[in-house]
Amino acid sequence: MAVKIRLARHGAKKRPFYRIVAAQNEAPRDGRFLEVLGTYNPLTEPATIEIKADRVKDWLGRGAQPSDTVRSLLRKSGALSEASLEA
C-alpha cells in the first residue's frame, strides 16, 4: 500500500479550499482518504495553512510520500524541517 500526502479540493466553484490528506496512490483526488492532516486556504491574505505536525511526522515515518505542493506547504508553514521531508 503506497500512501501519498496530498491535497483534496473542496469549496465552491472559483472558491477553492483544500484539505491536506493521507491517501492511497490509486484513490481519486477528492475521493477516499485515510486521514485529514490539515487545511490550506489560498484565498485569505496571507494564505492560511493549518497542519497537524505530529500526524504528518507519523505518516512520513511510515513511508508516506508528500506531493510537491504539500512539501512546499510544509516548508512554508515551518511545521517540519527540511531534513525530515527529505527522508
The whole-angstrom separation of Cα 20 and Cα 77 is 13
Instruction: State the DSSP string of 38-79.
Output: EEEETTSSSPEEEE-HHHHHHHHHTT-EE-HHHHHHHHHHTS
Domain boundaries, the chain: 1-49
At the top level of CATH, which class does the domain 1-49 belong to?
A: alpha beta
Tens digit of pLDDT for each residue in 28-75?
777 888 999 999 999 999 999 999 999 999 999 999 999 999 999 999
Strand order from edge to edge, sheet including 3-10: 48-51, 35-41, 17-24, 3-10, 65-66
Contact call for residues 68 and 56 (beta carbons, < 8 A): no
Identify the pLDDT of residue 28: 79
Rounded to two decimals, the pTM is 0.85
Cell output for 56: 504528518
pLDDT at 18 over 70: yes
